[in-house]
């Protein structure tokens, strides 16, 4: 009984301190507004979240700050109410662990109800347009994770509620918010001084999205890949224009030593995404030299360099895919070695946790009461 009462006292104290700090933060914001520090308060209510290209640096920073606040609140054991009475639906063409769980737990944490929708009639017996119009009558927000960006764009066109991108072949914006939040927690530098190197297929959704996020926030982004795996020139040109405004730096290299020197973050992703399995042999042949290993980590010259990966990773033979790759291609590891994955450089599980807090922030900002 005594132990339980001590626990109750500590919990109530944390809640009080959190509420007090929240009040003081609000008071400071009010003072800043009166001084003219915030002439244009950020509001994302009713906005779609399809790609970070659609958001200003200040709007992205707002989402990161909100993510941090929601993370602190959850760790303090405070139940949220910002989405009480709201209903969200999750549409999945591609399977998922982190995206589905983060959306479900994030919504439930803030009082919303969740429907997981798989095997729907969308695009089969019912058009995307009709499906979007129907779901918008039932739900306050719609999440889509699938193949084509044009599918989510069409959903957003006809749904009169916010639509959130859980992943498409072109972009993965919720992942990037989690990545940047993780960098702010683990790299002791302001973002405009951070050098991040993405290794592997730099033209995939992660390569594209990390470049966009870096350009928006003034970071130094390097894509390290064979030239055939560089992103589309149109997107690179677009982001270089953004980079001029934010003082970001965007580069692409095929030489490993040149690319990774001085890096604060080494980031990679699987070489073969869902739906690309037929290209595995070709990808392994062309990307094998770009495996993230301890030699690459040491080549950065930075003993504090962090390793990041959006997961899942093929770093051992404890999965069906890992066993298949070993049997067919003789590789025990693919895009990253088990040594690096489990090393002190790796922050992949902190990064995975931050999917929850950043996805929650996207929902709260667009349909919640904030």
* The two three-digit tokens of residue 351, written as one number: 């990064």
Asked whether the beta carbons of 252 and 225 are under 8 A apart, the reply is: yes
* The two three-digit tokens of residue 12, written as one number: 């109530």
- Give the E-state strand segments of 225-320 in sequence order: 249-253, 265-268, 306-309
Q: Catalytic: which of 203, 283, 355, 357? A: 355
Q: Catalytic: which of 172, 220, 283, 345? A: 172
CA–CA dist 28, 249 (Å, integer): 34
Q: Catalytic: which of 269, 283, 345, 357? A: 269
Active site residue 172: yes
DSSP-based three-state secondary structure for 50: coil
| Burial bucket for residue 12 (CB in 10 Å: 0-12, 13-18, 19+) | exposed
CA–CA dist 293, 338 (Å, integer): 8
Q: Catalytic: which of 169, 175, 315, 357? A: 175
Active site residue 310: yes
Widest CA span in the chain? 66
Q: Catalytic: which of 48, 98, 100, 145? A: 145
Q: What is the DSSP string of 183-225?
A: HHHHS-S-GGG-EEEEES-TTSHHHHHHHHHHHHTT-EEEEES
Active site residue 145: yes
DSSP-based three-state secondary structure for 164: strand
CA–CA distance from 360 to each of 14, 88, 178, 242 (Å)?
22, 12, 11, 27
| Burial bucket for residue 178 (CB in 10 Å: 0-12, 13-18, 19+) | buried
Contacts of 175 (CB under 8 A, 6+ apart): 167, 206, 209, 310, 355
Q: Catalytic: which of 264, 310, 345, 357? A: 310
CA–CA distance from 68 to each of 100, 157, 174, 180, 370 (Å)?
20, 31, 14, 11, 15
Active site residue 75: no
Active-site positions read 145, 172, 175, 269, 310, 355
């Amino acid at each position: 009984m005594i132990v339980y009462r001590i626990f109750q006292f500590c919990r109530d104290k944390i809640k009080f301190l959190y509420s007090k700090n929240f009040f003081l933060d609000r008071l400071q914001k009010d003072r800043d507004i009166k001084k003219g520090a915030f002439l244009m308060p950020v509001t994302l209510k009713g906005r779609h979240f399809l790609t970070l290209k659609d958001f200003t640096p200040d709007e992205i920073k707002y989402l990161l700050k909100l993510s941090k606040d929601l993370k602190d609140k959850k760790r303090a054991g405070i139940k949220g109410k910002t989405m009480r009475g709201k209903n969200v639906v999750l549409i999945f063409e591609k399977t998922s662990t982190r995206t589905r769980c983060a959306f479900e737990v994030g919504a439930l944490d803030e009082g919303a109800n969740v429907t997981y929708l798989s095997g729907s009639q969308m695009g089969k017996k019912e058009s995307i347009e009709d499906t979007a119009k129907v779901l918008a009558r039932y739900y306050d927000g719609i999440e889509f994770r699938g193949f084509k960006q044009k599918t989510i764009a069409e959903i957003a066109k006809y749904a009169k509620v916010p639509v959130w991108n859980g992943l498409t072949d072109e972009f993965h914006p919720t992942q990037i918010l989690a990545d940047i939040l993780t960098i702010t927690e683990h790299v002791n530098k302001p973002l405009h001084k951070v050098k991040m190197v993405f290794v592997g297929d730099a033209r995939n959704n992660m390569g594209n999205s990390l470049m966009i996020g870096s350009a928006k926030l003034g970071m130094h982004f390097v894509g390290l890949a064979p030239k055939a795996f560089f992103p589309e020139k149109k997107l690179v040109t677009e982001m270089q224009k953004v980079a001029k405004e934010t003082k970001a730096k965007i580069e692409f290299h095929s030489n490993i030593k040149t690319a990774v020197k001085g890096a604060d973050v080494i980031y990679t992703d699987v070489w073969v995404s869902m739906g690309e399995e037929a290209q595995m042999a070709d990808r392994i042949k062309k990307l094998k030299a770009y495996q993230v290993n301890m030699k690459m980590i040491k080549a950065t010259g930075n003993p504090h360099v962090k390793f990041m990966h959006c997961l899942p990773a093929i770093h051992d033979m404890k999965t069906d895919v890992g066993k298949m790759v070993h049997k067919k291609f003789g590789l025990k590891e693919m895009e990253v070695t088990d040594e690096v994955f489990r090393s002190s450089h790796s922050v992949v599980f902190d990064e995975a946790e931050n999917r929850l807090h950043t996805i929650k922030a996207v929902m709260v900002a667009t349909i919640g009461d904030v």
